[in-house]
Amino acid sequence: MTSTDEASESWAATRDASWYDRPNVRSDKVVHMAGRVIAYGTASRCGRSVLDDDSSWVPENVPQRLRCRASGCRQAWAAHPPEDER
Residues at the contact surface with Zn ion, assessed by CB under 5 A: 32, 44, 46, 68, 70, 73
Three-state SS for 65?
helix
Q: What are phi and psi of 52, to 5 degrees?
A: -90, 100
- Tell the smallest beta-carbon distance from residue 8 to Zn ion (Å): 20
CA distances from 73 to 21, 22, 28, 79 (A): 24, 23, 16, 11
- Tell the smallest beta-carbon distance from residue 57 to Zn ion (Å): 13
- Tell the smallest beta-carbon distance from residue 43 to Zn ion (Å): 9
**Cβ proximity to Zn ion, 22 vs 28, nearer residue:** 28
